Amino acid sequence: MIDKEMEEAINKQINEEMYSAYLYLSMSAYFERIGLKGFANWMYVQHKEEMDHAMKFYRYLIERGGSVRLYAIAEPPHEWDSPLHAFEETLKHEKHITECINNLVDLAERKKDRATFNLLQWYVDEQVEEEANDEEIIQMLIIVGDKGNGLFMIDRELAKRTYTPLAQEE
């Protein structure tokens, strides 16, 4: 049976992950609206990955005999100034998520909850990858100046991203 404080913290993280999924779905709709289908695809895949992050915590809580609480998901923004602005906000959000994960790691250590600590290592690695991906796209957008032919080249690149369900990765 999982510790109650740990359970509450994981339930809050499920909500953070669900919000991430919501935020990126909203960004996907924004990119569709401004005619950047590749960017929209990238964000849609990101949305699905965030749902997987939430569900990984959800299944873990159930497995540990915990009780899942699905808190209300906040409304994300629906408008950004430019593709660069959207990706800067994405990176900012991911840094916030990294901090949340690090706090969970600290709690698991304090509670001597080795199983949760082990689970969290997957999220620690995932955050490194997510921040690096965002930084790479931000750099590309800075180089091409956020418009014109360069932007369409990035759009073609981002159109190639495909979704791999989490269960198949492990």
Find the residue with minimal CB distance to ligand OFO: 20
Burial of residue 165 (number of CB atoms within 10 Å: 0-12, 13-18, 19+): exposed
Burial of residue 102 (number of CB atoms within 10 Å: 0-12, 13-18, 19+): middle
Rule CB under 6 A: say whether 47 interacts with ligand OFO.
no
Rule CB under 6 A: say whether 134 interacts with ligand OFO.
no
Q: Single out the residue of 93, 99, 104, 110 nearest to residue 56, CA to CA.
A: 104
* Shortest Å, Cβ 62 to ligand OFO: 19
What is the contact mask toward ligand OFO in residues 54 to 93, using x (rule: CB under 6 A)?
Answer: ----------------------------------------
**Where is 95: in which H helix or E strand?**
helix 83-110
* 18-65-127-96 Cα dihedral, nearest 10 degrees: 60
Rule CB under 6 A: say whether 50 interacts with ligand OFO.
yes
Q: Binder to ligand OFO among 6, 7, 18, 20 (CB under 6 A)?
A: 20
Question: CA of 72: how far to CAs of 12, 13, 75, in Å?
Answer: 10, 12, 9
* Shortest Å, Cβ 152 to ligand OFO: 26
Q: Binder to ligand OFO among 2, 7, 53, 140 (CB under 6 A)?
A: 53
Give contact residues for ligand OFO (rule: CB under 6 A): 17, 20, 50, 53, 94, 97, 126, 130
